[in-house]
Amino acid sequence: MSRPSWHERIRAARAERAAASRTRVRRSISQRDGARCVVDGRNLLNFCGNDYLGLSQHFAVVNALQDAAARDGAGGVASHLVCGHHALHDALEKELADWLGAPAALLFGSGFLANLAVVQALLDDESVCVQDRLNHASLIDAARLAGCRLRRYPHADPEGAIRQLRNVPDGLAMLATDGVFSMDGDVAPLRQLALVARLQKALLYVDDAHGIGVLGPDGRGSVAAAKLGTAEVPLQLATLGKALGGYGAAVVGDADLIGHLIETARPYIYTTALPPAQAAASLAAVRLARQEHWRRDKLADLVARFRERASGAGLELMESQTPIQPIVAGTDHRALAMAQSLEQDGYWVAPIRPPTVPEGRARLRVTLSALHGVGDIDTLVVALQRARDRSERMPDGARPLTTS
């Protein structure tokens, strides 16, 4: 028997990625201080994180983490259904459900796990999952692993969604979409999609990882901003690791569906519970997000200022009113060159390349935080102009300093 060599296959695949400027490297952060961080020994102003409200280092959040760790230890000990479900988990689930106006919530170790759990627990090989073409990879993988029929519609196209649902008239149907799209920053047309789901008797599931804490009344996310509730969106995902500054996620919604997930969702049943100390930190963050409206107000002002300055500088923006503000570069090489230029000037902005985004749509993914100041925005735009001009003169073959 002659089998191919794994090492040869891996080397060949890496060589292909290198030739296309699509290798990925990790950066080591040794220190964080607000919006600044020390990366591989360099002090940079961070414009590529998802700490939208600036809560990851808030003293109340950190104190809650430390106090709970001192009492309850560092780990989750066991799965929730064995002996890992702690009173702090319960308190966080109740707080999230109350905040988002839903009957119940269920914690998961990550948003990726939560999406796997929802789709796999609710769909089978006789079901269909209809998804936006730009959905997060976890939703696509979830449908593939569930064994259901996966159908994808053009981005933000409710008519495309209803056509796909009509093409598969039998079996249970789920319509799944991001609330805020992580690479474009735009918001899904949720009211139209809710109507499509109702007409086609499909369950509408919204992954609102980038909307929770940022959009809607009291920061309740894109679903609330669209004036929808559990009746129209029976389940939604709320991440704890972006605007709330922690780690983990929760699925929030209909009590019967949540109960079904508790008893059947493999990514919930067969994994260790989130550490209670992390739940305590997220509980503190949720309460701050609910109460401190100034964070969202400041963030909205920064977004408006950035768009005004960037547009005036002739930078190619996308249609986003959220803290995710992509600057279109086009080619992979140009995105890498611009990121390198920005880092030389003291700014950390990640270049995003295919397959994360479509071919020919490489970009700089600028993300804003309440930790940034007005001056940070203005100097970033100047640096982006300079990066654009430098990239037009840089020879081919530049290598990535930041990745996605």
Instruction: Give 314-354 as a DSSP string.
Output: T--B-S--SSEEEEEEESHHHHHHHHHHHHHTTEE-EEE-T
The pLDDT value given to residue 403: 46
Yes or no: say if 153 and 133 are a contact pair by the CB < 8 Å rule: yes
Yes or no: say if 262 and 85 are a contact pair by the CB < 8 Å rule: no
* Alpha helix positions (H), 78-157: 87-100, 111-122, 137-146
The pLDDT value given to residue 390: 86
243, 240, 250: which is closest to 281 by C-alpha?
240
258, 264, 216, 263: which is closest to 237 by C-alpha?
258
Mean pLDDT over 74-86 rounds to: 97
pLDDT in tens, 263-275: 999 999 999 999 9
Quick one: tokens of 32?
Answer: 């964080």
Q: Which strands sit side by side in the sheet containing 347-348, from one edge to the other?
A: 29-33, 36-39, 42-46, 347-348
Which residues make up the CATH 3.40.640.10 domain(s) of the chain?
59-291
CB neighbourhood size of 69 (10 A)? 17
Q: Which helix (H) or strand (E) holds 128?
A: strand 128-132
Model confidence at 402, in pLDDT bands (50, 70, 90)? very low
User: What percentage of the chain has pLDDT greater than the value 70?
Assistant: 97
Which residues make up the CATH 3.90.1150.10 domain(s) of the chain?
22-53+293-391
**How far is it, in rounded angstroms, from Cα 348 to Cα 42?**
10
Answer whether 0.85 is exceeded by the pTM. Answer: yes
Collapsing DSSP states into helix, strand and coil, what is residue 295? helix
Compute the mean pLDDT over every residue in the chain, rounded to the nearest whole number: 95
Give the residue with greater pLDDT, 20 vs 29: 29
Q: Give yes or no for residue 291 having a pLDDT over 50.
A: yes
112 is in an annotated binding site: yes
Yes or no: say if 90 and 133 are a contact pair by the CB < 8 Å rule: no
**How far is it, in rounded angstroms, from Cα 279 to Cα 91?**
9
210 is in an annotated binding site: yes
24 is in an annotated binding site: yes
CA distances for 280 relative to 35, 54, 65, 107, 288, angstroms: 23, 17, 6, 13, 13
The phi, psi pair for 191, rounded to 5°, reads: -65, -40
306 is in an annotated binding site: no
182 is in an annotated binding site: yes
pLDDT in tens, 324-343: 999 999 899 999 999 999 99
Domain 22-53+293-391 part of CATH 3.40.50.300: no
CA distances for 354 relative to 27, 28, 396, angstroms: 19, 23, 18
Q: Give yes or no for residue 393 having a pLDDT over 80.
A: no
Rounded to 10°, the helix 190-200/158-167 angle is 20
7 is in an annotated binding site: no
**What is the CATH topology of the domain spanning 59-291?**
Aspartate Aminotransferase; domain 2 (3.40.640)
The pLDDT value given to residue 394: 64
In DSSP terms, 151 is beta-bridged to 130
